[in-house]
Amino acid sequence: MKKILIIEDESAIADLMSYSLKREGYIVKSIDNGKEGIEITESFKPNLIILDLMLPDISGFDVCRNITQRLNIPIVMITAKCDITDKVLGLELGADDYITKPFDMREVLVRIRSIFRRIDLIQQSVKNNDLDYITIGKDIKIYKDERVVMKGRDKLEFTPKEFDLLIFLAENKGRVFSRSQLLDKVWGFEYLGDTRTVDIHIQRIRKKLDEFKGNSIIETVFGVGYKLNN
């Protein structure tokens, strides 16, 4: 049974989400402020976090930044704003998805199932692969079971979605994928975001992999999409 942490200060919305998620079989805990939400992630150990952007004590952006820097937990951000800047910032900080208020709870459930399905598929593919790690570039190793990326002796920090995207490209070295194909393969066909999400994640992965200047491991194929070079 997967555990979901809700960080939302509007009691009506929190109660609705909690009730609906429990009916789906999830173990749910609801917190109404950011600081307590950060603290409880260590003890509750959620498999996914639903995070409101506007909280009474600290910004949801700060909560997202704090959690993604320490823990490998998917985050769905809830925002009342339609400004694309807020959505992009949330994704840049490590959120896996976002939903704009007002929302239909059925949409929330679909997005959550899509995230868990994607993680399960990746874990299953890992089990079916005899290799302990994938090597890319000169000195980068991806340890799939541990979901760890090493550059030499240095551990690189990746959000869950960044790691999933990197794994997919690494397992398909040399193949070119369009942004739409990557959304379908990594985010899931039910994802309702646009292709700029892929560009944002590719940029962040490049910054982490290409610590030393040179040719990028992930190549942009103009007019098509991206591929990971050997």
Question: In the 8-state DSSP scheme, what is residue 72?
Answer: -
State mean pLDDT over 92-104.
81
- Name the CATH topology of 3-118: Rossmann fold (3.40.50)
1 neighbors 26 (Cβ within 8 angstroms): yes
pTM of the model as a whole? 0.63
Q: Which ranges of 128-178 would DSSP assign to H, the alpha helix? A: 160-170
What's the whole-number mean pLDDT along residues 5-19?
A: 94
Check if the beta carbon of residue 209 is closer than 8 Å to that of residue 140.
Answer: yes
Sorted by where each begins, the domain ranges of the chain are 3-118, 130-228
> CB count, 10 Å around CB of 179?
17
- Give yes or no for a contact between 61 and 83, defined as CB atoms under 8 angstroms apart: no
**pLDDT of the residue at 44:** 94
The pLDDT mean for the chain works out to 84
Architecture of domain 130-228: Orthogonal Bundle (1.10)
Could you tell me the pLDDT band of residue 123, with boundaries at 50, 70 and 90?
Answer: low
What is the four-CA torsion angle of 47, 53, 56, 61, rounded to 10 degrees?
80
Give yes or no for residue 36 having a pLDDT over 70.
Answer: yes
* Per-residue pLDDT reduced to its tens digit, 127-169: 555 447 888 887 888 887 778 888 877 788 888 888 999 999 9
